[in-house]
Chains A and B, each alone.
Chain A
Amino acid sequence: MDELDRLLAETMHDAASRAPAADRLLSTVHHRSDRLRRRRLATGLAAVAAVLAVGIPAAGALVARAPTDNAPVAGSIQLVGTYPAPVFPYTLPATDGLSAPVASMRDGALSAFFEATELQQHSDITVTVTSSEPASTAAATEKTVRVRGHSATLRTVKVQPAKQLILTWQESPGRWIRLATDDTYSQQQVIAFAEALTPASVEVLPPFQLDLSPAGFTLDTVTASTMRFRTSPAAPPITVVLRKRYQLDGSNRNVGSYRALLATGTGGTKLSIDVTDWNATLEVSVGTGLALSDADLIRFAAGIHILNRSDPQ
């Protein structure tokens, strides 16, 4: 160990004594854990109605009413009032120990999360539906089994704290299903869950309520912080992301009563809005090549209502 090494070790141990106190750590962790749990359990159409009811009031939205003095540019993307809401097409039978599904969507892949509410006999289950065979990169042992009349692959991935069991099969042309859980369940139980899947329409609950949406676009990602629209998988997107608040590099626009920064770069145009009362920054990005005028971008952003179930990145 040379002088620099010694000085580094000394510096780190000295700095450690200046770490924040742990007085409130336990209560804060419990609060945060409860919040994670509540977010996972938010579900179903009843929740949609409830969240809309408890979502921020009109005065708390980015503006109370979208401005109407910015007419759309001819030939550009039109903003309309509705968009097709994605739904997850399967569910598991109601079981003691597993919650009702919470659906989400990433890059076009729909997922339903069934949270374990009893952890001795049960574990979380995630079912994902994709249009092509899902990629698997982690090292695993594989076994071929029969599921719902199809050949399926059951992969066991050795990770801590529990081995992951992942069952994948092609349900029909253009539809692959992946069921993932851990070794709380036996392989036979995992196959039984797959056999028990039945058709359903589990709504993917968005983090925002939108007054306007881009015509001809569909959602390909809906998470607790993000809604992303595209016309096709490879097309440039229109993305709305809620992030933990950060300092804007100045401001050149107002969206409702909020300061905002509109900037254009190689990746497209981005409107960053300092949503102070949510302690968050809302980013609305328009990919390169998409014809959405700045005025329409601001009009679109002004119609975004952040809901209580959102969770900033």
Chain B
Amino acid sequence: MRVALFPTCVNDAIHPRTGQAVVALLERLGVQVDFPAAQTCCGQPQYNTGYRRATEPLVRRMAGAFAGYDHVVTPSGSCTAMVRDNYPRIGAKARTEGRGDGLARAAASLVPRVLELTEFLVDVLGVSDVGAYYPHRVSYHPSCHGLRMLGLGDRPRRLLEAVEGLELVELPGAEECCGFGGTFAVKNPDVSAAMGADKVRNALSTGAEVLCGADNSCLLHIGGTLRRADAPMRAVHLAEILACTRADPTGTGWATPRARSSA
């Protein structure tokens, strides 16, 4: 089984720790992962802002970079949804516009192999207990694209419930959008901030120390709102919780090369 990691551009540039956590987690589960360096970005920000044509080279790039892998695993529901829902549309539109079916074929070759992290863990590896240890009170925010477009269902919850030491507390209004919305966050900053404030208020009402999510773009917004308020809560990606173990409860070893000498 050849597995490629698509950490996403956000995690590559801003939050590499999440990518490192996925590598540590998957290798612990016996999966060897690769990071094809030709990858960059799925094109979601451009596409969702109305720049479909600017996304086309990225569809080709993604398909090329991940050719030959059985699975492409990504710790982002929204980037997975971008590929799954929108790449076929981009290909179909290019064909309708008389520009051949190259893009449609590129999309079709990639789409079925791209999986969000919890899909890969639960559906492909068939695990819900990944052997993690995380002795904290945690609430979970299911980001919109994972929740409604991918239909992740209870996969993240099952994974979290199996974590040793973790106390999972219900987030009021969990299914409501946090207000990030990509460029929405800066195009409509007042509404975005109002939604973020409500999300944070709900999160703080749980008394949890950690708000867990499976999309770091949403967590940048929620976490930034929490930090601005000096709130006693931090936003942590699900992968970083699942990668913690009794032997390494804070993930200090993820970044050190010796953990993965197999390559």
Q: Do A and B bind each other?
A: no
Residues on B close to A: CB < 8 A? none
Which residues of A are at the interface with B, using a C-beta cutoff of 8 A? none
